[in-house]
Amino acid sequence: MFTRAIVKKPGKSYVNGLTTSNLGTPNYELALEQHASYIEALKTVGVEVTVLEADEQFPDSTFVEDTAVLTEKFAIVSNPGAETRNGEIVHMQEVLKGFYKELEYIQAPGTLDGGDVMQADNRFYVGLSTRTNEEGAKQFKAIVEKYGYTAEIVPMKEFFHLKTGLAYLGNNDLVVAGEFVDHPTFAEFNQIVVDADEEYSANCIRMNDYVIIPKGFEKSKKRIVDAGYKVIELEMSEFRKQDGGLSCLSLRF
């Protein structure tokens, strides 16, 4: 059960953020509207939302998920692998001190983006990406093991972040795409497979009684509904342009 979420509004500098996609420059006004709908959806699923004001200094800072990993027991401040994003943790750690007595930290030379971490009940999976290195993943594993969780480090071939291609819904149900479909690490889950032409929808979030998914991916939507979940769809076009998915826009705990 999630009770809280933290989000940060996109600033005007958002349009100059990092991206590998060739979907064009985001429309800032539309991004703000989509962000407001995201906040409304979080309220619908029953969490209290902390809305942080935009930080123009960090164009990608609306993607708060990359700055930390939160659970009911502990909070880990990440060490984001992109140089232009690393300073985002300075503000976020101050915010998190309002919710947690103590914080854990990933330290250099370790790097880790929250988008590379997936929790499935008491297990964590940590993807090795261009943003998360082995040292960061090992530090993460050592921290979560102290709290009685396990962690498995997953080398990746294609995806930007681990959760670009995976979403754990609970009940052993796992949304999987691309390189993770036949991956032995995820073979024990009930897989909800996302087709290649709908890959973007693999990044969805289970929040209490709902799964929030990006709008426009009918096959994935049907598979998630058929698996027994209530779905909320959100237009994500302006975040997709900067390589962002649904999970990236919030920290949930």
| Of 55 and 243, CB closest to ligand CIR | 243
Annotated catalytic residue: which of 35, 91, 204, 248? 248
**Cα pseudo-dihedral 29, 31, 34, 35, rounded to 10:** -110
Question: What's the closest the beta carbon of residue 47 comes to ligand CIR, in angstroms?
Answer: 18
The length of the chain is 253
Q: Which residues bind ligand CIR (CB under 6 A)?
A: 17-19, 60, 63, 65-66, 82, 85, 115, 161, 242-245, 248
Select the residue whose beta carbon is closest to ligand CIR and give its number.
Answer: 115
Q: 30 or 225, CB closer to ligand CIR?
A: 30
Is 55 or 60 the residue whose CB approaches ligand CIR more closely?
A: 60
Q: Which is nearer to ligand CIR, 37 or 84 (CB)?
A: 84
Known catalytic residue at 248 = yes
Residue 10 amino acid letter? P
- Residue 244 CA to its chain's centroid (Å): 9
Q: Cα angle vertex 130, ends 71, 55, to 5°?
A: 60
Least distance from C-beta 57 to ligand CIR, angstroms?
15
β-pair partners for 251: 6
For the CB of residue 249, give the shortest distance to ligand CIR in the complex, in Å.
8
Shortest Å, Cβ 250 to ligand CIR: 10
Pick the catalytic residue from 91, 161, 183, 204.
Answer: 161
Tokens of 1: 């059960």
Contact indicator for 36, 49 with CB cutoff of 8 Å: no
What is the smallest separation between the CB atom of 116 and ligand CIR, expressed in angstroms?
8
Q: Smaller CB distance to ligand CIR: residue 145 or 158?
A: 158
Q: Count CB-CB contacts under 10 A for residue 22.
A: 6
- Judge whether 204 counts as a catalytic residue: no
The position carrying tokens 């939507």 is 221
Q: Read out DSSP for 184-236?
A: GGGTTSEEEEPPGGGGGGG--EEETTEEEEETT-HHHHHHHHHTT-EEEEE--
Which tokens hold the place of 31?
Answer: 């991004």
Report the catalytic residues.
161, 248
